[in-house]
Amino acid sequence: MTTADHHSLLLVEDSDTQALQLQLMLEAQGFHVARAGSAEDALDQLNRTLPDLLIVDYRLPGMNGDELVRRVRLNNSTRALPVLMLTEESARDVERQGLDSGANAYIPKSEDNALLVVRLHALLRSRRKGDDDSGDAQRHSAFRRAEILLIEDSPTYRLFLADLLASEGYGVHVLDNVEACEARLARGDIDCVAIGLDIGRPESFALCRRLDHIRNDGPGNFEIIGLGGDERGELLIRGFAAGVDDMVPKSSERDTLLARVRAVIRRKFMRDEDQQIAASNRKRELALAQAQAEAASAEALSRANNELADANRRLQKTQAQLVQAAKMASLGELVAGIAHEINNPLAFILAHQTTVSRLVSAIEPCNEDDGQKLERARTRLEAIRTGLVRIQDLVLKLRSFSRLDEGEITTIDVHEGLNGVIALLGHKLKDEIVLERRFNGPATLQCSPALINQVAMNILSNAIDEIEGKGRIIIETDADDEDYRITISDSGPGIPQELHERIFEPFFTTKAVGVGTGLGLAISYSVVQSHGGSLEVGNGPDGGARFAISIPRTMSA
């Protein structure tokens, strides 16, 4: 048995016997088959769920098979639904009518079942991807029967026409007064009004004009068919003048009358669908415009937030620099005072130490014991002098720290100065330390010599001290149109993040007691600030510290 992948079929067949035979055969092939006994029943089922394929008998009671197919093709959700037309007739015009109505294939009922199954599989294969998943009744416009309001004075013709329209599958509402007519139209669900017009009864034309006014000014959206004795002469002229959409003679044959009504209803349904499509398009356009507006608003908000965050970062950075600059200025005054107070007694002590040393050196010992004592005195005096000179060097650094903004601005050779610093620190460089020069910036820069003599030397000296054993130090220069940058990075242990803000404070040091004074980076920071630049610390490519000096290329002397 061939597989049908559990496709669902809707079989529209009025003959119970033929429907049962087809249903059993198709279910044996693996299809799920539902059955409708009429076109109207089929439309009701299509409202609830959509099958994968529709099998329609051409000859059906009420609405015929070709009209059902046309209705299917008029609905957006079923336009692509495969339809197989069945008939007992073999005339070519029947086949043409079935195909012209929108059926995908036509097959006589007398054909072999194998051919029918092959046709079904071919139609199911031709479905577009995604059509299978359309069973939710909420995803397509509902089918409904056309509702017709019948206003006719002749009881005989009224009964005939009501039965005829009802047999065609229309909902027929017969009314006999204007008030009931207007109340029914106010509900907005009438598709067509068929009204009898008579030359001898002017009130029928007045009612027709009233109906035209209602549909133009009210919620109604319906067609108007005038029922008259013929389609010629005064009746035709007055009928169209009163607002009818079509005139149908009461003497028309049954099929002709139905065809005319069907054409009017079809036109009305197509117009309704066009309006639904237009409304849907407008809704999508509004949704798209709203989505675009929301996206633009979100983008603008995000951009504003980013700009605000960037401004906040700049503000915090500027604030930190101002705080540090203020701290340096106040500490500079304090350090200058301390240096001055230390320098005066230091000069006095050094002068007397020199005198005492000279006098002790001139004494001749009387015996060996006195000679040993004098030698110890000379040794102690030299030790005292070494300590005093160290204090003097510290005072000089303190004085330099307090007068960094007094340096003269001149044009220096940066690369030559850096090479000189490297040479001066050569005695500290160990054989295991590799020093790389990456001089990509211009050779000259307008600045104070202290930028190289103090800043670069302090940072490079610290980098050498931090490396134990093998390591690497990289000195780089580069520049753009605005700034000149000197970067010194090492492979040492680096500086913890929590200490980045403190390392430029005077007297703060991570070195052991007696190894450093904690003034080197503080002096370096102040030198860079006096140039209008910045000194930042971060992580280097080898995991150690990375100091970045940035100086404006245009300096005022």
Dist. CA 42–CA 50, nearest whole Å: 10
Q: Provide the pLDDT for residue 484.
A: 92
Topology (CATH) of 304-402: Helix Hairpins (1.10.287)
Helix (H) or strand (E) holding 362: helix 254-362
Cα–Cα nearest to 186, from 219, 150, 209, 224: 219
Is the pLDDT at 142 greater than 70, yes or no? no
Is the pLDDT at 135 greater than 50, yes or no? no
Is the pLDDT at 555 greater than 90, yes or no? no
Strand order in the sheet with 433-439: 433-439, 471-479, 483-490, 545-552, 534-539
Ordered by start, the domain boundaries in the chain are 8-136, 147-252, 304-402, 407-552
The structural architecture, per CATH, of the domain 8-136 is 3-Layer(aba) Sandwich (3.40)
Is the pLDDT at 130 greater than 60, yes or no? no
Q: Provide the pLDDT for residue 519.
A: 59
pLDDT above 90: percentage of residues in the chain: 16
Dist. CA 550–CA 539, nearest whole Å: 16
Average pLDDT score, the chain: 79
Q: Provide the pLDDT for residue 53.
A: 92
Give the phi and the psi of residue 112 in degrees, each rounded to 5. Answer: -65, 145
Cα–Cα nearest to 525, from 335, 338, 393, 329: 329
How does pLDDT run across 454-509, given as a tens digit for each residue? 788 888 888 888 888 888 999 999 999 889 999 999 988 887 777 766 676 666 56
Beta-strand (E) ranges in 81-210?
83-87, 105-108, 147-151, 171-174, 192-196
- Bridge partners, residue 147, by sequence: 171
Top CATH class of 147-252 equals alpha beta
Dist. CA 450–CA 556, nearest whole Å: 16
How does pLDDT run across 283-311, given as a tens digit for each residue? 888 888 888 888 888 888 888 998 998 88
Q: Provide the pLDDT for residue 321.
A: 55
Identical fold, 147-252 and 407-552: no
Residue whose structure tokens are 């065809």:
259
Q: Provide the pLDDT for residue 511.
A: 58
How does pLDDT run across 374-433, given as a tens digit for each residue? 888 888 888 888 888 878 777 765 665 454 444 567 888 889 888 877 877 777 777 788
How does pLDDT run across 180-216, given as a tens digit for each residue? 888 888 888 889 999 998 877 888 898 888 888 888 8
What are the angstrom distances between the C-alpha of 396 and each of 330, 332, 452? Answer: 18, 13, 18
> Residues 31, 9: contact at Cβ < 8 Å?
yes
| Domain 407-552 = CATH 3.50.50.60 | no
Q: Where are the alpha helices (DSSP H) in 151-230?
A: 155-167, 178-185, 202-217
How does pLDDT run across 53-68, given as a tens digit for each residue? 999 998 888 888 888 9
Q: How confident is the model at residue 317 (pLDDT cuts 50, 70, 90)?
A: low
Dist. CA 204–CA 178, nearest whole Å: 10
